[in-house]
Every structure is written in structure tokens, then in C-alpha cells.
Amino acid sequence: FKSRIEDVREEILRKRRAGKLPGDTTTVLKNWWQQHSKWPYPTEDDKAKLVEETGLQLKQINNWFINQRKRNWHSNS
């Protein structure tokens, strides 16, 4: 039973670490963000290019932009 608890604990810790994207990937995304800071909503073509450049999945790109806008973008509304 104790070994099972340790296995679960290790799995939880591994999943927490998995939440961070690699630094070079976020650099690409942040560069796009800065160049489009007035309206940071990438088109489908923009997203396809970012998928190619970063190696991330489309869902990861979408989630990154959703989170980035929530945390760091203040529109003029």
C-alpha cells in the first residue's frame, strides 16, 4: 500500500512540472504577443505558423493566448 501511495505522489509531482512550457517556446509566443499588443488575437493562419515554430499543439497555443490575455492584457474598454 505504501508503494502505491508513493507512486501516486510521484505522478502528481510529475504532472505539476509538466505545466511549464519550454523557455524558447514562450519566447516565440511572447514576441508575437508584443508585436500585436493592441489586439492579441492571432488568426488561424497565425496560429498555424506558431504551431510550426513552437512544436506545440493548437490547443496549447489557444490556451496560452487565453491565459496571457487574462493575466496581462488590459483592453481600452
Give the pLDDT confidence of 25-51 residue by residue, as tens digits: 999 999 999 999 999 999 999 999 999
Residues 6 or more apart whose CB falls under 8 angstroms from that of 69 comprise: 40
CATH 1.10.10.60 assigned to 21-77: yes
Looking at every residue in the chain, the average pLDDT score rounds to 89
The pLDDT-based confidence of 16 (bands split at 50, 70, 90) is low
For the chain, the farthest-separated pair of C-alpha atoms sits apart, in whole angstroms, at: 56
Distance CA 70, CA 64 (A): 10
Q: What is the DSSP letter of 55?
A: -
Task: Give the pLDDT score at 11.
Answer: 79
Residues 6 or more apart whose CB falls under 8 angstroms from that of 21 comprise: 29, 56, 60, 64
Show me where the domains of the chain are located: 21-77
